[in-house]
Amino acid sequence: MWVTVGLYLREGYRVPQFHGKWPFSRFLFFQEPASAVASFLNGLANLVMLSRYRTSVPASSPMYHTCVAFAWVSLNAWFWSTVFHTRDTSLTEKMDYFCASTVILHSIYLCCVRTLGLQRPAVASAFGGLLLLLLAAHISYLSLVHFDYGYNMVANVAMGLVNLVWWLGWCLWNRPQLPHVWKCAVVMVLLQGLAFLELLDFPPIFWVLDAHAIWHISTIPIHFLFFSFLMDDSLYLLKDTPVPLKVD
């Protein structure tokens, strides 16, 4: 690979991609060092904020279990992202892609529970079942029919847009009575904006730092802001939920 890269550069051509991937300089056993470390740091930030959430929010809060489940789903995704960027195989690639889709769908479910499910639990349960069917169909197609990178990208963009519009619409609607929703709105806008970094497809700087790695690095602080919103909102719901009277 490096012989080919050297020939291309010597003749004045652009750095080529190999099987759709840029050439990276390995460090120890890391195939893509910057992306692997950034994925690990995203997972660490998620774990720190999960611990802080569980310490700060009582389990009696209506959104507690849904938020904790979302944190574990996200942590699992960052684990597989770290593994994939450390060692790129067919299995680790699929796990990275599938777990990323799971996080987006779980964020949509989280939004559904917050906006509709607290008043209509049956609606949230039915919608959650629908999302599971969509995820199963998505994974089945990519695993059993054809691993289509273009389809996977379009599917994730569509899910991301649903997530963005639903969360952002709810934030704008509830901004007057819920001052903390600005954190959620900023997170949604940042996630959508930072996703455009993926379009800046350039050869790795020093053969280590490419657009994908920069994107992963830029998402690390977002975990702190989003979990801060979840903590504020869960505590608000706990305060706002009437305590049932005990009858002797």
* For the chain, domain boundaries: 28-53+61-234
Rounded Cα–Cα distance for residues 16 and 51 (Å): 44
Mean pLDDT of 167-177: 93
The confidence score (pLDDT) of residue 40 equals 96
In this structure, of 9-18, 34-43, 50-59, the range with the lowest mean pLDDT score is 9-18
What percentage of the chain carries pLDDT values higher than 70? 90
Q: Express each pLDDT in 178-192 by its tens digit.
A: 999 999 999 999 998
Neighbours of 157 (CB within 10 A): 13
The interaxial angle of helices 33-56 and 64-86, nearest 10 deg, is 160
Whether the pLDDT of residue 42 is over 90: the answer is yes
Q: Express each pLDDT in 79-123 by its tens digit.
A: 999 999 898 898 999 999 999 999 999 999 999 999 998 889 999
First to last CA, the chain: 78
Rounded Cα–Cα distance for residues 38 and 28 (Å): 16
List % helix, strand, coil for the chain (3-state, nearest 5): 75, 0, 25
Whether the pLDDT of residue 137 is over 80: the answer is yes
Look at residues 96, 1, 32, 62 and name the one whose alpha carbon lies nearest to residue 238: 62
Question: What is the full DSSP assignment across 82-134?
Answer: HHHHHS--HHHHHHHHHHHHHHHHHHHHHHHIIIIITT-HHHHHHHHHHHHHH
For residue 196, which amino acid is it? F
For residue 205, which amino acid is it? I
Rounded Cα–Cα distance for residues 233 and 7 (Å): 57
The confidence score (pLDDT) of residue 226 equals 97
207: left (phi over 0), alpha (psi -120 to 50) or beta: left
The confidence score (pLDDT) of residue 72 equals 97
Is domain 28-53+61-234 classified as CATH 1.20.140? no
The confidence score (pLDDT) of residue 64 equals 95
The confidence score (pLDDT) of residue 214 equals 86
CB-based contact 42:217 (threshold 8 Å) = no
Neighbours of 134 (CB within 10 A): 15
